[in-house]
């Protein structure tokens, strides 16, 4: 089974991380929820308060697929672009972009740190790479 990963990139101009999240993959790693329940984004007009959950997956130091094991609530739809997504349904294969705040990044590091020793070790290697790069 091929694993789909969320595209994450560094925006050098604005000095921030940009995550490109798919809105219309019901079996994917990203879901939109309202009142803690997944919604069909192509059938239900989206609201600013809808929550984006992301089942974070990555390749570990050995190149193996690894998952954090829990879906993280990363943002409300109002924090994503394009802004016109609120009030309408998602288009086929539509993506939104989201940039994590420093507080969100700290929470992600903590989540990886407490999830398991291997997740913590992977996170430490990743942070070391960023620091050295």
The total number of residues shown for the chain amounts to: 133
pLDDT at 1: 47
Domain ranges (residues) in the chain: 7-99
pLDDT in tens, 98-113: 998 888 888 877 877 7
8-state DSSP, 132: H
pTM: 0.76
Structure tokens that stand for 112 in this block: 């990886």
User: 24: closest CA among 41, 2, 6?
Assistant: 41
Pairing of strands 30-34, 7-11: unpaired
Triad 107, 130, 69: Cα angle to 5°: 40
Q: What digits encode the pLDDT tens for the residues 73-127?
A: 778 999 999 999 999 999 999 999 999 888 888 887 787 777 777 777 777 776 7
Which residue do the tokens 């990555």 mark? 58
Taken in order 126, 82, 33, 91, the sign of the CA dihedral is negative
Rounding to the nearest 10 degrees, give the CA dihedral for residues 104, 107, 108, 112. Answer: 180
Least Cα distance to 1 among 59, 65, 68 occurs for: 65
């Amino acid at each position: 089974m091929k694993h789909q990963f969320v595209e994450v990139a560094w925006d050098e101009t604005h000095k921030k991380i940009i995550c490109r999240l798919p809105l219309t993959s019901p079996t994917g790693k990203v879901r939109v929820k309202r009142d803690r329940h997944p919604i069909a984004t192509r059938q239900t007009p989206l609201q600013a308060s809808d929550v984006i959950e992301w089942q974070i997956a990555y390749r570990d130091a050995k190149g193996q697929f690894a998952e954090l094991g829990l879906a993280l609530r990363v943002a409300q739809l109002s924090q994503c672009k394009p802004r016109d997504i609120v009030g309408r349904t998602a288009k086929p294969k539509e993506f939104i972009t989201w940039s994590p705040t420093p507080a969100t990044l700290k929470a992600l590091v903590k989540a990886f740190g407490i999830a398991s020793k291997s997740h913590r070790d992977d996170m430490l290697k990743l942070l070391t790479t960023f620091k050295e790069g």
